[in-house]
C-alpha cells in the first residue's frame, strides 16, 4: 500500500467513525429529559432527598450520553481530515469550531429545554485535545471513548454544584432547576459534596485510564520495534551465514579447478600422442568429461554463465542428478511434448541444484506417508516455463509462509534462499503455496529464450 492510498484509507475510516458517532448523538438528543422535572416535583411534594439525588444523577448521565458521541464524532472527523493534503491543523481546529457551533445551532433539545455550552463543556473540549495529543498512537477508538466518557462524566457533575453557579457552571434549565430546589430545601451542601466526590473520583479514573492506555501503547510500540529489530538481526545473521557459506564454496570450487586443468592438459596430451588404442579412447573420454566438469565449475563460479538447452534435456539432466538419492523412485517427471521442445537459456548447474533442493524438501515433507508422491512438472505459459514441485505431504506451516528464513526441518533455511536467488538471477521468480487438498507446491518461473 502506497502512502497516498494509506492516507485515503485512514481518512475514510476516521470520517466514517465520526459520522457514526454524530448519528449516535442525534439519537441521544431524542432522549426526553422530562423525567428530571418529574423527580424534582416528587422531591417538592414528598420532601424526600432521594428524588433530588435521582434527578441529579439522571441529569448528569443524560448530559454525558449526549456529550460523548458529539465530542468523539467531531474528534474523529478532525483527525481523519488531518490525513488530507491541506488538513494538518484539522485534528484540533475542527473540534474547536464544530462543537461550540453545534451547541449554538441546536439551542434546544426535543423536550423543549435549552442547551448550555458552559465551563464544563469547555473543560470537556479541552480534554478532547489532551486526549488527542496524548493518545494519538492508540489504535483502539473504544479505549479513547472510555477515557473521554470518564472525563466528561466528571465535568458534568460540576454543572449541578450550586456553589459553582457564580463561576459559569450549570446554565441550562434543568441544571438551574436542580440547583435552585437544592438551595431552597437546604440540600445544596449535599449536592456540592456529592458533586465534588464524584468529580474527583471520575476525573482521577479518567486520568489513570489514560496513563495506563498510553503506557500500554508505548510498551506495544517498543515491543513491535524490538520484534522488528530481532527479525532484522536474524535476517542479517542468516544472510551473513549464507554469504560466508557461498564464498567458501566458491573458494573450494576455484581450488578444484587447478588440478582439473592439469588433468585435462595431461589427458589431452595422451589422447594426441598415443596411437589409436583403448588407452587413447580413455584419454579422449577423460578430456570430454573433464570439459563438462570445467563447464559446471564455471557455472558455479559465475552466476551469469548461460547455455541454451531444451526443457526436455534439462529434465533428463535433472533425472541424472536425483538418481543418487534414495527417494528417486517416488518422483514423477511430467512435461508435454510441446513444452519439452522449448529452449531456455540457463545456468544449468545452479538451476538443477535449485530443483534438487526443492525435491529434497518435498521428500522430507512426504516422509512417513503411506503413499508418498512427488511430481516435477514443466508447463509452458506464453513466454515462460513454470517448473513446479508438487507433493502430498503436510504442507507449509503458517510460520514458514510468514517468514521464509525459518526452516521447517531445523536447518538454516538457506536452501530456499538459494532457490529464490537462482530464479531471480534468471529473470524469473519463485513462489510457494499450500494445496487445497493437502500438500504443497513450489514453483520456479523461468523465461523462454528470446528469439
365: helix, coil or strand? helix
445: helix, coil or strand? strand
Residue-wise pLDDT tens digits, 218-229: 777 778 788 888
**Domain positions in the chain:** 3-232, 244-300, 305-447
26: helix, coil or strand? helix
Residue-wise pLDDT tens digits, 317-330: 899 888 888 898 99
Range among 145-154, 299-308, 369-378, 412-421 rated most confident: 369-378
Q: Does domain 305-447 have CATH number 3.30.565.10?
A: yes
Residues forming a β-bridge with 433: 441
Residue-wise pLDDT tens digits, 192-220: 999 999 999 998 988 888 778 777 777 77
Mean pLDDT, residues 117-125 taken together: 66
Q: Exposure of 27 by Cβ count < 10 A (0-12 exposed, 13-18 middle, 19+ buried)? A: exposed
Burial 36-48 (b: 16+ CB within 10 A, else e): bbebbebbeeeee
Mean pLDDT, residues 121-144 taken together: 65
C-alpha cell at 14: 476516521
Which positions ≥6 away from 360 have C-beta within 8 Å? 325, 327, 415
Distances (CA, A) of 240 to 237, 268, 414: 5, 41, 11
The closest of 69, 65, 77, 71 to 18, measured between CA atoms, is 77
Residue-wise pLDDT tens digits, 263-288: 666 677 777 777 777 777 777 777 77
**Do the Cβ atoms of 294 and 260 come closer than 8 Å?**
yes
What is the value of pTM for the model shown? 0.52
**Do the Cβ atoms of 116 and 171 come closer than 8 Å?**
yes
pLDDT over 60 at 135, yes or no: no
**pLDDT for 85:** 66
Residue-wise pLDDT tens digits, 49-85: 899 999 999 999 998 898 888 888 888 888 888 777 6
Residue-wise pLDDT tens digits, 36-59: 889 999 998 988 889 999 999 999
The closest of 336, 260, 333, 342 to 295, measured between CA atoms, is 260
**pLDDT for 140:** 67
- Strand-by-strand arrangement of the 374-381 sheet: 331-335, 374-381, 384-391, 440-447, 429-434
Q: Exposure of 107 by Cβ count < 10 A (0-12 exposed, 13-18 middle, 19+ buried)? A: exposed
Please report, rounded to a whole number, the percentage of residues in the chain having pLDDT higher than 90: 20
**pLDDT for 74:** 85
Amino acid at each position: 500500500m502506497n502512502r497516498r492510498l494509506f492516507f485515503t484509507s485512514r481518512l475514510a475510516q476516521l470520517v466514517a467513525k465520526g459520522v457514526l458517532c454524530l448519528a449516535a448523538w442525534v439519537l441521544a438528543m431524542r432522549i426526553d429529559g422530562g423525567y428530571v422535572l418529574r423527580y424534582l416535583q416528587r422531591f417538592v411534594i414528598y420532601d424526600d432527598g432521594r428524588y433530588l439525588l435521582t434527578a441529579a444523577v439522571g441529569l448528569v448521565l443524560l448530559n454525558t450520553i449526549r456529550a460523548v458521541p458529539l465530542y468523539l464524532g467531531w474528534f474523529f472527523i478532525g483527525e481523519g481530515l488531518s490525513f488530507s493534503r491541506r488538513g494538518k491543523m484539522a485534528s484540533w481546529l475542527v473540534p474547536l469550531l464544530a462543537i461550540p457551533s453545534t451547541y449554538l445551532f441546536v439551542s434546544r433539545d426535543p423536550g423543549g429545554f435549552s442547551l448550555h455550552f458552559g465551563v464544563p463543556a469547555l473543560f470537556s473540549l479541552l480534554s478532547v485535545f489532551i486526549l488527542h495529543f496524548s493518545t494519538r498512537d492508540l489504535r483502539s477508538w473504544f479505549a479513547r471513548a472510555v477515557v473521554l466518557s470518564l472525563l466528561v462524566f466528571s465535568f458534568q457533575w460540576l454543572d449541578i454544584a450550586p456553589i459553582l453557579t457564580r463561576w459559569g457552571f450549570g446554565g441550562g434549565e434543568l441544571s438551574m432547576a436542580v440547583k435552585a430546589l437544592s438551595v431552597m430545601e437546604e440540600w445544596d451542601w449535599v449536592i456540592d459534596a456529592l458533586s465534588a466526590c464524584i468529580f474527583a473520583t471520575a476525573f482521577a479514573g479518567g486520568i489513570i485510564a489514560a496513563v495506563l492506555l498510553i503506557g500500554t501503547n508505548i510498551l506495544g510500540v517498543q515491543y513491535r520495534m524490538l520484534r522488528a529489530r530481532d527479525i532484522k538481526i536474524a535476517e542479517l545473521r542468516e544472510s551473513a551465514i549464507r554469504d560466508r557459506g557461498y564464498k567458501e564454496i566458491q573458494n573450494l570450487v576455484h581450488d578444484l579447478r587447478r588440478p582439473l586443468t592439469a588433468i585435462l592438459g595431461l589427458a589431452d596430451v595422451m589422447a594426441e600422442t598415443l596411437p589409436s588404442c583403448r588407452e587413447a579412447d580413455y584419454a579422449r573420454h577423460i578430456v570430454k568429461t573433464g570439459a563438462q566438469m570445467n563447464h559446471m565449475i564455471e557455472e558455479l563460479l559465475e552466476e551469469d554463465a548461460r547455455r541454451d538447452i531444451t526443457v526436455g534435456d534439462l529434465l533428463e539432466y535433472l533425472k541424472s542428478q536425483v538418481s543418487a538419492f534414495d527417494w528417486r523412485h517416488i518422483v514423477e517427471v511430467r512435461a508435454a511434448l510441446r513444452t519439452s521442445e522449448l529452449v531456455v537459456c540457463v545456468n544449468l548447474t545452479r538451476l538443477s541444484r535449485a530443483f534438487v533442493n526443492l525435491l529434497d524438501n518435498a521428500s522430507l515433507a512426504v516422509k512417513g506417508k503411506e503413499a508418498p508422491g512427488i511430481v516435477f512438472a514443466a508447463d509452458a505459459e506464453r513466454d515462460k516455463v513454470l517448473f513446479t514441485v508438487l507433493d502430498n505431504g503436510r504442507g507449509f506451516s503458517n510460520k514458514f509462509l510468514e517468514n521464509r528464513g525459518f526452516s521447517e526441518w531445523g536447518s538454516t533455511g538457506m536452501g530456499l534462499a538459494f532457490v529464490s536467488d537462482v530464479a531471480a538471477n534468471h529473470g524469473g521468480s519463485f513462489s510457494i503455496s499450500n494445496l487445497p487438498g493437502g500438500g504443497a507446491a513450489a514453483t520456479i518461473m523461468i523465461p523462454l529464450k528470446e528469439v
